[in-house]
């Protein structure tokens, strides 16, 4: 059956072509530009880092040292009793680096007054969860520190 | 209801600007096509600004990192090769367009009263664009860049008296070294774009204020036939033409970028001798070729010095054309300056071609 009238006016057709063309052009421009701008370099975390026995022994009881774990800052704590614990030094609130306070045996974050106890549990202030914990293993005269990134919590 | 347009209008009188834009008419005659060149240049400027800022996201401007970061852009960053190549090709087309704009304006004598200042700002822009092109070539800090830096900074060294200081200022020392890159980077992304923006602003303002110039020949013909020169409103008619031109140009830039992506040469080696047949970028080839032809000594003065001073004088004559060309100023045809233009154009084109193919 032939329609008497066209369903589409010439004007609509041309407008459609122009808009379509422009949309196509925009997509072709935006796609590579966005890809370029949002590229991020993926630097995988190391599987483990090691510290020598001597280094660890030098550490006084009830004190802490920082260490580098790829792009993550870590902190190694030696308690009064000589026990070793390692945490990610990044505050779980907004990623400031925490410091150990020997007098109160706490990790303190100066950015917004956040506190964690010496097992890394958040005790006061804004931090929402405990510090991330490193696994410690002794291998010969080396201390092996390793860290599992869990479900994207740690940037 | 809150009416944004009305509120803004009350404060800054937007209507006045809009009605001014609506009133602008563009004369239509057989040389009208040249009017489009400026719009295209502006569009290329915008492409360069945007892609340039994008490249800055990944480019690391220091002698140790520049080369690697460009390699990274070309290989690892998604579409990095495309963005860099677009920047490269748009810069080349910008220089071509700038020369076309320059010569066409010269031939129609659009520099005559009252547009002398517009002409001078245009000349300044041409210089800025050439230096942007040159400084841009050096930023990858590859072999090509190294020789371009050496030869390029050596040239002002030939200028009597101040030459030595200019050379050391550009190089940041007696020789081209890591510090030179930082200077050229500062020029390419700081000083030159700022100058470009400022002068383009003045240039465009003057174009708006003074309207389009009509060539003397067309004016005379219309006078003789007692006819008015037809004109079309800038807004929206010619703006649409501009948009279409820009889209076509964008297509050309992207096509060139895809077919011939920009290259990255070998890593810099300060001890390596210049490779045979090393040449400057195409837009300085004509200078290179002319200097090559000159004898070592002319009347006891070094040939290079004579050449550079001579070219500078020629450039000054052209820049000062509106003040020298009295006939055009009186609204008469000025064949002498047309011939000067033709000779300059021929020298430019022929020397560039010879430089390219020799
Ligand atoms: S970042 Fe540590 S308390 Fe806010």
Choose the mutation target among A36, A38, A43 for the interface with B, i.e. most B CBs under 10 Å: A36
For residue A72, list its beta bridge partners: A69
What is the distance between the alpha carbons of residues B83 and B70, in angstroms, rounded to a whole number? 11
CB of A94 closer than 6 A to ligand 1? yes
Q: Given a cut of 70, is residue A151 above it in pLDDT?
A: no
A73-89: average pLDDT: 92
> For residue B151, what pLDDT is reported?
85
pLDDT tens for residues B241-251?
999 999 999 99
Average pLDDT, chain B: 90
DSSP state of B358: -
User: With contact defined as beta carbons under 8 Å apart, do B23 and B232 qualify?
Assistant: no
- Global pTM value: 0.84
Which domains are assigned to chain B? 4-286 (1.20.810.10)
- The count of other CB atoms within 10 Å of the CB of residue B217 is 14
Q: Given a cut of 80, is residue A1 above it in pLDDT?
A: no
Q: Given a cut of 90, is residue A48 above it in pLDDT?
A: no
**Whose structure tokens read 């021929």?**
B346
> 53-112 in A: which are within 8 Å (CB) of B?
none
For chain A, say whether B80 makes contact (Cβ under 8 Å). Answer: yes
> For residue B233, what pLDDT is reported?
85
CB–CB of B78 and A32 under 8 A? yes
> For residue A152, what pLDDT is reported?
46
For chain A, say whether B293 makes contact (Cβ under 8 Å). Answer: no
Q: Percent of chain B beyond pLDDT 90?
A: 55
Nearest Cα of chain A lies from the Cα of B308 at a distance, in angstroms, of 42
A76-88: average pLDDT: 92
Nearest Cα of chain B lies from the Cα of A40 at a distance, in angstroms, of 8
B-chain residue closest to A21, CA distance: B247
> For residue B86, what pLDDT is reported?
97
Confidence of residue B293 (pLDDT cuts 50, 70, 90): confident
Calculate the CA dihedral of residues A83, A124, A127, A100 and round it to 10 degrees: -40
**Helix locations, A59-142, DSSP H:** none
A-chain residue closest to B57, CA distance: A37
**Which residue among A127, A128, A130, A132 has the greatest number of ligand 1 atoms within 8 angstroms of its CB, and so is best to mutate?**
A127
> For residue A138, what pLDDT is reported?
87
Domain A49-146 has CATH 3.40.50.300: no
CB–CB of A39 and B54 under 8 A? no
Confidence of residue B187 (pLDDT cuts 50, 70, 90): very high
For chain A, say whether B318 makes contact (Cβ under 8 Å). Answer: no
Nearest CA to ligand 1 atom 4: A112
Q: Given a cut of 60, is residue A105 above it in pLDDT?
A: yes
Q: Which of A95, A109, A96, A56 is nearest to A79 (CA)?
A: A56
Q: Given a cut of 90, is residue B303 above it in pLDDT?
A: no
> For residue B330, what pLDDT is reported?
86
pLDDT tens for residues B312-357?
899 999 999 999 998 888 888 889 999 999 999 999 999 999 999 8
Q: Given a cut of 70, is residue B19 above it in pLDDT?
A: yes
- A55 or B257: which carries more pLDDT confidence? B257
Choose the mutation target among A39, A40, A42 for the interface with B, i.e. most B CBs under 10 Å: A39
Residue A44 makes CB contacts below 8 A (sequence gap 6+) with A70
ipTM of the complex: 0.81
CB of A127 closer than 6 A to ligand 1? yes
Nearest Cα of chain B lies from the Cα of A149 at a distance, in angstroms, of 25
Nearest-atom index, ligand 1, CA of A113: 3
Nearest-atom index, ligand 1, CA of A125: 3
> Cα–chain-centroid distance for residue A16?
47
């Amino acid at each position: 059956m032939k329609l008497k009238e066209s369903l589409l006016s010439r004007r609509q057709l041309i407008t459609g072509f122009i808009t379509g063309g422009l949309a196509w052009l925009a997509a072709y421009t935006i796609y590579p530009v966005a890809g370029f701008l949002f590229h991020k370099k993926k630097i995988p975390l190391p599987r483990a880092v090691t510290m020598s026995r001597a280094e660890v022994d030098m550490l006084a009881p009830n004190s802490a040292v920082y260490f580098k774990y790829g792009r993550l800052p870590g902190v190694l704590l030696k308690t009064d009793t000589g026990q070793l614990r390692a945490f990610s030094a990044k505050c779980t609130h907004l990623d400031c680096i925490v410091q150990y306070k020997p007098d109160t045996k706490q990790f303190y974050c100066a950015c917004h007054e956040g506190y964690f106890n010496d097992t890394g549990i958040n005790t006061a202030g804004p931090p929402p969860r405990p510090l991330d914990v490193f696994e410690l293993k002794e291998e010969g005269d080396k201390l092996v520190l390793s860290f599992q990134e869990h479900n994207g919590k740690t940037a | 209801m809150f009416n944004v347009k009305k509120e803004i209008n009350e404060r800054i009188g937007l209507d006045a600007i809009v009605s001014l834009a609506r009133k602008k008419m563009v004369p239509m005659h057989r040389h009208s096509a040249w009017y489009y060149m400026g719009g295209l240049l502006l569009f290329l400027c915008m492409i360069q600004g945007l892609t340039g800022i994008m490249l800055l996201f990944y480019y690391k401007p220091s002698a140790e990192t520049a080369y690697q970061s460009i390699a990274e852009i070309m290989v690892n960053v998604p579409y990095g090769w495309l963005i860099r190549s677009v920047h490269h090709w748009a810069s080349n087309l910008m220089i071509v367009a700038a020369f076309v704009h320059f010569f066409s304006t010269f031939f129609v004598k659009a520099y005559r009263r009252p547009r002398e200042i517009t002409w001078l700002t245009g000349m300044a822009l041409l210089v800025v664009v050439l230096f942007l092109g040159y400084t841009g070539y050096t930023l990858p800090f590859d072999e090509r860049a190294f020789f371009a830096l050496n030869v390029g900074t050596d040239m002002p060294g030939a200028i009597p008296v101040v030459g030595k200081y200019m050379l050391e200022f550009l190089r940041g020392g007696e020789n081209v070294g890591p510090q030179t890159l930082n200077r050229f980077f500062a020029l390419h992304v700081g000083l030159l774009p700022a100058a470009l923006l400022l002068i383009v602003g003045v240039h465009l303002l003057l174009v708006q204020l003074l309207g389009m110039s009509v060539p003397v020949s067309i004016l005379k013909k219309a006078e003789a036939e007692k006819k008015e020169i037809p004109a079309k409103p800038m807004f929206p008619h010619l703006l649409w033409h501009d948009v279409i031109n820009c889209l076509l140009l964008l297509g050309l830039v992207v096509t060139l970028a895809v077919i011939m992506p920009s290259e990255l040469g070998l890593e810099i080696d300060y001890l390596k001798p210049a490779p045979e047949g090393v040449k400057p970028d195409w837009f300085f080839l004509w200078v290179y070729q002319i200097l090559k032809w000159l004898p070592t000594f002319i009347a006891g003065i070094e040939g290079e010095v004579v050449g550079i001073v001579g070219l500078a004088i020629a450039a000054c004559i052209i820049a000062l054309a509106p003040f020298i060309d009295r006939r055009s100023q009186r609204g008469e045809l000025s064949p002498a300056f047309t011939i000067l233009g033709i000779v300059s154009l021929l020298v430019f084109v022929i020397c560039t071609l010879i430089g390219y193919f020799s």
